[in-house]
Homo-oligomer: A and B are copies of this chain.
Amino acid sequence: MKKLINSPETLLEDALAGMAAAHPGLRVNAGARVITRSSGKSPGKVAVISGGGSGHEPLHGGFVGLGMLDAACPGEVFTSPVPDQVLAAARAADTGAGVLLVVKNYTGDVLNFQVAAELAEDEGITVETVLVNDDVAVEDSTHTAGRRGTGATLFVEKIAGALAEQGADLATVAKTAREVNSASRSFAVALTSCTTPAAGRPGFELPEDEIEVGVGIHGEPGRRRERIRPAKEIVADALDAILTDQPLSADDETIVLVNGLGGTPLLELYVVYNEVATALADRGIRIARRLVGNYVTSLDMAGVSLTLCRADAAMLALWDAPVDTPALHWGG
């Protein structure tokens, strides 16, 4: 394993110090491992908070700022934060208007945020939780852990964040967050695995001509292995998986995320986006907004995830609302 780190043990601490130094807009509490806006709290505003294992940067710390998150709590690499951290984030961000916890649906995240929510409620902080579970590669059944949360997390954080910034109350922000999640579907393929510092070697080894189809964002193998094919065909299959799960009609407007998993050049992401745009145009589905880049990554994994959100006019307006964070910046 080769990594630009000092040691696996100090990775998170060092990276947080780097984030703090790099982004004057962020305030990083190194002890509590909580990232907040350096502008402080806005009185009466609902706080939107997210967190999860590290290794998905810029998610979540890079989304803290005006119009998006109020706080983020990054755990160890691919390990959900502990309840104390989430609680510290809630304390740091709550203005009395309550907090929305945006949680990706993984057992660890769910449990740790749940414990934290109980602790926060005990302290008189009103808490709502939205579980993000957009990954159609995972079968959704009541007997399983359910779908993973992946790319749609960005959509939920951006849109709920904009609504909170406009002064909506907690119930409204939570409701919209859940609607965004319900309207979103993702699918990902990997060309390589990734290497966590703790493990020191890739989670799986792929032959030179094979890809993993239906992967998540934690270096785990996908649903099946296939031979590499032209981008057009890979995209077609991914869109099929998404649109089979959530059919879209010609009237629907979408927000599309073509997301690099960390080790894929932007040049290739543009090739993928071109195929997505062409394929959706062929089906008569309109792309109202889009993002192409590395937003919800899986360390150094080469690969791409596609996320589609069926967006109504209200969601699009919230998407367009000003955002000023390290990783997303537009408007106002």
Interface residues of A (CB under 8 A from B): 1-7, 11, 14-19, 21-22, 54-55, 57-58, 62, 77, 191-192, 206, 208-211, 228, 230-232, 234, 258, 262-275, 277, 287, 290, 292, 294, 297, 299-300, 302-304, 329-330
> What would be 29 A-B contacts, judged by CB atoms less than 8 Å apart?
A2-B192, A2-B208, A4-B191, A4-B234, A4-B272, A5-B271, A6-B232, A7-B230, A11-B267, A14-B275, A17-B274, A18-B269, A18-B273, A18-B274, A19-B270, A21-B277, A22-B270, A22-B277, A22-B292, A54-B267, A55-B265, A55-B267, A57-B266, A57-B270, A58-B266, A262-B266, A265-B300, A266-B294, A329-B329
A191-B274 in contact given A266-B294, A267-B299 (Cβ < 8 Å): no
Q: Which of A2, A4, A270, A292 has the most CB of B within 10 A?
A: A4
Interface SS, A side: mixed
Which residues of B have CB within 8 Å of A4? 191, 231, 234, 264, 268-269, 271-272, 303-304
CA distance A142 to B19 in the complex (A): 41
Which residue of chain B lies nearest to A262 when distances are taken between CB atoms in the complex?
B265
Closest B residue to A268 using CB positions: B4
Give the complex CA separation of A22 and B266 in angstroms: 12
Please give the distance in Å from A68's CB to the nearest CB on chain B.
15
Q: Which of A7, A258, A263 has the most CB of B within 10 A?
A: A263
Report how far A206 CA is from B77 CA in the complex, Å: 25
> CA separation between A233 and B253, bound complex, in Å?
51
Q: Could you tell me if B230 and A274 are in contact, using CB atoms closer than 8 angstroms?
A: no
> A210 CA to B1 CA in the complex, in Å?
10
Question: How far in angstroms is the closest Cβ of chain B from A331?
Answer: 10
In the bound complex, residues from chain B placing their C-beta under 8 Å from that of A273 are 18, 21-22
> Once the chains bind, are B272 and A18 in contact (CB under 8 Å)?
yes
Question: CA A264 – CA B57 in complex, angstroms?
Answer: 11
- Give the contacting residue for A267; candidates B57, B192, B208, B270; CB below 8 A: B57
- Report which residue of A269, A271, A275, A294 has the largest number of chain B beta carbons within 10 angstroms of its beta carbon: A271
Which 5 A-B pairs give the minimum distances between C-beta atoms?
A18-B270, A18-B274, A57-B266, A4-B268, A15-B270
**Cα-based distance from A299 to B271 in the complex (angstroms):** 14
| 7 more A-B residue pairs beyond the given contacts A18-B275, A262-B266, A263-B300, with a C-beta to C-beta distance below 8 A | A2-B302, A5-B271, A11-B271, A18-B274, A22-B258, A55-B265, A265-B297
